[in-house]
Amino acid sequence: MNSAYKSPENKHRTDAVIEKQASKWPFYFLLGLLIWLPLPMGSNRLWAWTIMEVWVFSLAAFVLFAIWRGRIITPPALYKARWVILLMLLWIGYGYLMTVPMPIAWVEILSPQAADIYSQSPLGYNELKYIPLSLDINASITESIKNTAYVIFFVLILILVNTRKRMKQCVFALILVAVFQSVYGSLMVLSGFEMGFFVEKEASRGVATGTFINRNHLAGFLEMTLAIGIGFLIGSMSHSKSRATMSQRIRGIARLLLSKKILLRLCLAIMVIALVLTRSRMGNTAFFTSMLVTALILLVFMKKKTRSIVILIGSLIIIDILILGSWFGLEKVKQRIKDTTFATETRDEVNIYAYQQWRDYWITGSGPGSFYSVFPKYRGEGVSGFFDHAHNDYIEHLSNTGIIGSALIGSVIVFSLGTGLFMLWRYQSMFKLGMVFGSVMGIISILIHSTVDFNLHIPANAVIFMLLLALPWLTFQCDRQ
């Protein structure tokens, strides 16, 4: 027999090995990005998110070249999520379109307020033949480039996280960086030696911020990573419903104490402690609410309820809320919520004025990233200082991109969340169940938190949110080892 001959089975095996080797280092660079992003103040600085963009675009170019050469094969998740990807492309395309000058007559129809603003230009309204919908072109281009990086990251996750092993490695990487943020932030609070990202903290002293600037942004990061970690813990539980004898239970407890599960549970406990120490009112409320809601959905959807799942969910609620919360200051968070009034808060006034801003640009918006330059016109008495973001992601998205842009990105979230809920109902394995649980819980949590904050405008948190949106689609290919 000719030694050069390869059977179809051997050829398929060889192709799989080539694909695995070709995507190995790109995958590790993707993990490196997940670990890096939270460190430099959540990458919420021009130089930091520029590094992110270069990192993502370079990695995408390499992966695209490997696909063109046949070294990497597009996985099933990419096809399953094709409509979501299309909506994302339309979303970022709309952002770029708003920076393109168009006939004045069109702008007068689509955004009369924007046309009125441009009519006050020193150049003279009659001399302008073409104007853009965006009122701040530079900010809109900057924001659109960031959004492009987020969408490409979403696609890279679908392509490179193509096995169960790699999904686990992603979870481990996130937990690693979240535990670091938790330990670092907690030590800064408990020791009184408060440092941020290699500089002494000027604000948010006495509360955990990690290397983020704002405690609410660390809380948002921990909410999402905790959800993924809890989902992974659920995915590692046994599916057996058989009753065990006393000796079997003792051996089971011993195996648990000596297994990696107890280490994971310890990591989650550390993250909960840090979340409480942020003293973030909505951060803690969103986390515990989303855990209760998602656990209830899971128990309703599960046709074959296992004792281990019920016990785990019960322990998460009891230990995290009653014990860890009581020891590390959940009462202080509750007191902050009680002390919150409209007289002591300015967020509500900012959001009211931002809502008025949206009403003037409700169809198309004033342009991605333009909030900070447009808002001063609407800021009323009682609100002073500089606001680069509204304290409500929904209002800011509506103000910046109007109904059109918000409907596009909102459809992506609804589509992914709906797929996650469907997968909870039709789960095929405990691992898939756990990953989808983490996705649904994390999405619900950050959507709740976004009603009073702007976590989705922090690059590190926006990327983790993209990972949450990708998880339901990744379960279509996690059977691969």
Backbone angles phi, psi at 206, to 5 degrees: 90, 0
| Cβ within 8 Å of residue 99, ≥6 positions away | 132, 134, 137, 140, 141, 144, 367
* Residues 85 and 155: beta-carbon distance below 8 Å: yes
In this predicted structure, what is the pLDDT of residue 48?
95
pLDDT above 90: residue 119? no
At position 195, the amino acid (one-letter code) is M
DSSP reduced 3-state for 130: strand
Provide, rounded to the nearest whole percent, the portion of the chain with pLDDT above 70. 79
In this predicted structure, what is the pLDDT of residue 385?
63
Quick: pLDDT tens for 212-227. 988 899 999 999 999 9
**Global model pTM greater than 0.85:** yes
In this predicted structure, what is the pLDDT of residue 430?
84
Q: How many CB atoms lie within 10 A of CB 301?
A: 16
| Beta-bridge partner residues of 102 | 131
DSSP 223-270: HHHHHHHHHHHHHTS----PPPPHHHHHHHHHHHHHSHHHHHHHHHHH
| Cβ within 8 Å of residue 281, ≥6 positions away | 333, 336, 337, 340
* Residues 157 and 131: beta-carbon distance below 8 Å: no
Mean pLDDT confidence for 129-141: 92
User: What's the DSSP call for residue 28?
Assistant: H
In this predicted structure, what is the pLDDT of residue 11?
46
State the Cα–Cα distance between residues 321 and 153, nearest whole angstrom.
34
| Cβ within 8 Å of residue 397, ≥6 positions away | 405, 406, 409
pLDDT above 50: residue 398? yes
pLDDT category of residue 376 using cuts at 50, 70 and 90? confident
Look-up of token digits 């990573």 = 225
Quick: pLDDT tens for 60-103. 999 999 999 888 888 889 999 999 999 999 999 999 999 999 99
pLDDT above 60: residue 5? no
Q: Which of the two residues, 317 and 50, has the higher pLDDT score?
A: 50
Mean pLDDT confidence for 344-362: 76
Element (H, E) at 329: none
In this predicted structure, what is the pLDDT of residue 255?
56
Q: What phi-psi label fits residue 42: left (phi over 0), alpha (psi between -120 and 50 degrees) or beta?
A: left
Closest CA relative to residue 63, chosen from 92, 39, 33: 33
pLDDT above 80: residue 400? yes
Backbone angles phi, psi at 362, to 5 degrees: -70, -25
How do the domains of the chain map onto residue ranges? Answer: 20-99+134-474
pLDDT above 50: residue 106? yes
31 CA to centre of own chain: 15
Mean pLDDT confidence for 326-338: 53
In this predicted structure, what is the pLDDT of residue 269?
87
Rounded mean pLDDT of the chain?
83
Closest CA relative to residue 217, chosen from 36, 467, 38: 38
| Cβ within 8 Å of residue 133, ≥6 positions away | 97, 98, 102, 107, 110, 111, 114, 364, 365, 367
pLDDT category of residue 480 using cuts at 50, 70 and 90? low
DSSP reduced 3-state for 146: helix
In this predicted structure, what is the pLDDT of residue 384?
63
Termini Cα distance of the chain = 32
Closest CA relative to residue 142, chosen from 36, 46, 38: 46
Angle between helical axes of 260-277 and 246-258 (0-180°, round to 10): 60
Quick: pLDDT tens for 8-39. 455 445 545 555 666 789 999 999 999 999 99
pLDDT category of residue 234 using cuts at 50, 70 and 90? confident
Mean pLDDT confidence for 262-290: 88
